[in-house]
Structure formats: C-alpha cells, structure tokens
Amino acid sequence: MTDNLPMKPEHKDFYRRLRAKIKAWAESRVGKENNYIGYVLLAPDMFYLLVKLALDDDVPTDYKIKLGAAIAYFISPIDLIPEGLFGPIGYLDDVVLAAYVINLFLNENDAAIVKRHWAGDGDVLEQIRALLDKAKEILGERVWGEVKSRVNREEQSDAGERRAEKESDQ
C-alpha cells in the first residue's frame, strides 16, 4: 500500500528507467540464470521506498538524512559494485544498503510507516530480513563490510553532530 506523497520528477524518472532496465535484464538469458535475480528485482521498489520515507513527515529528520544518503548512493554511478561495469547486478549493493538503512529506521520507529510506502510484492519486513540475512553471501564479506562501514560512519558522524548541538545549547 502506498500513499500520495509527491515524488520529485528526477526521482520518478530514475525509478521508471531503473524499473525498465531491470525488467529487460530479468527477461534476458543472463538475468534468468542469475542466482540473485529476486534481489536485483527489488531495486526499483527499494528506491521508491527510500524516496517515500524521505518525504514522510512521520520520519525523523536524522533518518531523512540517512535515507537521502541512500538515495544518492542509488543514483550515483560510482559505488562499490558499479552498474556501468556490471549491469543490473550492480544494484545488489544499492539494494542491500537500502535494506540496512531502512532496518536502522525500523529498529527505532513504527514498522507501519515503512509498510504504508511499500509498492513491491510480499511483506517488506520479510524482504528486508531476507536481504540482510543473505547480504554477506550476495555481496561477499569485503563489500558487505564496506556497506556497513559507510552507513555506520554516517551514523557516528550524525551522533557527533547531535552531541555538539546539545552541548552548544547548554
């Protein structure tokens, strides 16, 4: 179920291009033979979910920053598994990073917020759990470690900024 929060045109265009690209790949011989096709197919829906959560007034600002960083990672051609070099399989790191960030949000917030924006098939919470359970297998230990490290660096930076703000207010 989704709501009617507006999506910026550039995000909508990226979402449509991403969906078309992955659908074409999934229907190809290479896509059909890929063990991780189900996870790659989550890319458009995970991107959509990130954008919708970032626009939701019920999402705290510190999480909107993390969601925005995950959106930027999705859009950027430069990442751990570049789509330009590996094709749609390169979205695996983007999907796992999105799941990791959304899971951080779920650890401290109401799952109903995430569920109301999920446009994909199946239960979003099960999809996220499955992705995170297989992340090391999907990405390999080094890339999975780097994904977590990037998000955790952002988390530590945010925590440091909040502490500094709190101290300056006193």
pLDDT tens-digit readout, 61-83? 999 999 999 999 999 988 999 99
Record the pTM.
0.84
Which whole-number Å values give the CA distances from 80 to 73, 84, 139, 155, in the listed order?
A: 10, 11, 10, 19
Residue 108 CB-density burial (10 A; 0-12 exposed, 13-18 middle, 19+ buried): exposed
Q: What are the residue ranges spanned by the domains of the chain?
A: 9-169
Contact 162, 115 (CB under 8 A): no
Which whole-number Å values give the CA distances from 85 to 18, 77, 78, 82, 90, in the listed order?
A: 16, 10, 10, 6, 8
pLDDT tens-digit readout, 103-122? 999 999 999 999 999 999 99
Cα separation, 22 vs 83, whole angstroms: 11
